[in-house]
Amino acid sequence: MILLITSSARAPECAQAIQQATVDNVQIASTLQQAGAQLRSAEYAAVVIDQFLVEAEPDETELVMQHLGTAVALHINFAISGVERVVRELRAALNRRKREALAARREAEQVLRSELKGTVTAMLLSCEMALGVPNLPQTAENKLRMVYDLAREMRSKIGLIQ
């Protein structure tokens, strides 16, 4: 969902163009106070803010910015920007947000993989050593084999070399 914050008379036209271009629902807030209430009640992928409102009400703008969550904020001067430009800028911002989220996810996966690598290897080695203990009770051996198999499965799932 996208939130369009503007008091411009072209707001409905712009919202319709954005909705057609992004296939996202678009809500319109004509004031920053109204936008703040909407941001507190729903999640948005993007928030398009009229530069006029930002300059006219800086304190209220700051409050709105605090409630963005994961939404990308896009400041547009509706007085000089056509609908096509707004749509183009929004698409670019949403694409940039997707790329950044994907990069962050990949980095988090890599960090997790690196952190688990040593732990899984230690588990496998400990299980192998414990299974080599002479006269190990059958019940303990069965439990150790189960842990060993789970550690091997975990190693496979996190993409560590076999």
Rounded-to-integer distance, Cα 142 and Cα 127, Å: 11
Instruction: Check residue 158 and give its pLDDT.
Output: 83
In a domain? residue 55: yes
In a domain? residue 162: no
In a domain? residue 49: yes
Residues 63 and 36: beta-carbon distance below 8 Å? yes
**Would you state the structure tokens that stand for residue 102, as one six-digit string?**
């994907």
Say whether both 53 and 92 belong to one domain.
yes
Say whether both 52 and 112 belong to one domain.
no
User: Which long-range contacts link 58-66 to residues 24+ away (Cβ below 8 Å)?
Assistant: 60/32, 60/33, 60/36, 61/32, 63/32, 63/36, 64/5, 64/32, 64/35, 64/36, 64/39
Whether the pLDDT of residue 160 is over 70: the answer is no
Say whether both 13 and 87 belong to one domain.
yes
Domain that holds residue 67: 2-104
Say whether both 59 and 130 belong to one domain.
no
Say whether both 47 and 125 belong to one domain.
no
Say whether both 94 and 61 belong to one domain.
yes
Say whether both 22 and 94 belong to one domain.
yes
Among 64, 83, 104, identify where a domain stops.
104
Say whether both 21 and 88 belong to one domain.
yes
Say whether both 130 and 95 belong to one domain.
no
Domain total of the chain: 2
Say whether both 43 and 77 belong to one domain.
yes
Rounded-to-integer distance, Cα 85 and Cα 59, Å: 27
Give per-residue pLDDT as tens, 104-137. Answer: 999 998 898 888 888 898 999 999 999 999 999 9
Residue 159's DSSP bridge partners are none
Residue 80's pLDDT band (cuts 50, 70, 90): confident
In a domain? residue 19: yes
Task: Look at residue 44 and give its three-state secondary structure.
Answer: coil
Whichever domain contains 58, its CATH number is 3.40.50.2300
Instruction: Check residue 161 and give its pLDDT.
Output: 56
Among 9, 10, 7, smallest CA distance to 87 is for 10
What's the whole-model pTM score?
A: 0.69
Say whether both 7 and 86 belong to one domain.
yes
Instruction: Check residue 96 and give its pLDDT.
Output: 93
Say whether both 111 and 121 belong to one domain.
yes
